[in-house]
Amino acid sequence: PGRAFRAVRDSELAATSSGVNLAAYKTGAFALSAFYAGVAGSLYVIAATFANPETFPVAFSLTLLVGAVVAGLGSFWGLLAGAAFLTFVDDLAEALATAPGVPDTIFGLVLVALVLVLPTGVAGGLRRLFDPLTSRL
């Protein structure tokens, strides 16, 4: 099953041609992620002893999505870079301009420039940078 999930992640066409039931494995991956999200939510409610939908606003969800886009996939260093981006670029944009809406515009422009320069995220950029160095080893 692990190899089938990996094949579906890498190339759906190749996985299907290898005999992997694409619909079943995609549904299984969705169900597994929903299970873990449910367990995490229930553990959070047990720890906080209070459940409120306003605890996680839409802006927080978008911030996490931006962090995932910046980070890319499959790298701890990319994850750290995504967290640093969210923390420092937002603070830097607020320090540069105090007019209403300007810090958000600066943050958005830096994000768009980063996505154009590194379309696979920081993790993909690091992988592309260090691949020639590590392939000789």
Supply the DSSP symbol for 18: T
**With pLDDT > 70 as the criterion, what percentage of the chain qualifies?**
98
Q: Which amino acid appears at position 73 of this protein? A: L
| Mean per-residue pLDDT, 25-54 | 92
Contacts with 15 (C-beta within 8 Å, 6 or more apart), sequence order: 4, 7, 8, 22, 25
Write down the pTM of the prediction: 0.62
120: which 2 tokens? Answer: 């696979």
CB 41 within 8 A of CB 52: no
Count Cβ neighbours within 10 Å for each residue of 78-114 and write b for 16 or more, e otherwise: bbebbeebbeebbeebeeeeeeeeebeebbeebbeeb
Contacts with 79 (C-beta within 8 Å, 6 or more apart), sequence order: 71, 123
- Is residue 137 predicted with pLDDT exceeding 70? no
Which of the listed ranges 18-27, 52-61, 79-88, 115-124 does the model predict with the highest average pLDDT?
18-27
What's the pLDDT score for residue 28? 94
Point out the least confidently predicted range of 13-17, 27-31, 42-46, 69-73. Answer: 69-73
What's the pLDDT score for residue 78? 76
| pLDDT top residue among 20 and 71 | 20
Point out the least confidently predicted range of 10-14, 69-73, 106-110. Answer: 69-73
- Is residue 66 predicted with pLDDT exceeding 70? yes
What's the pLDDT score for residue 88? 87
The string of pLDDT tens digits covering residues 84-122 is: 888 888 888 888 888 888 888 888 888 888 888 888 888
CB 122 within 8 A of CB 75: yes
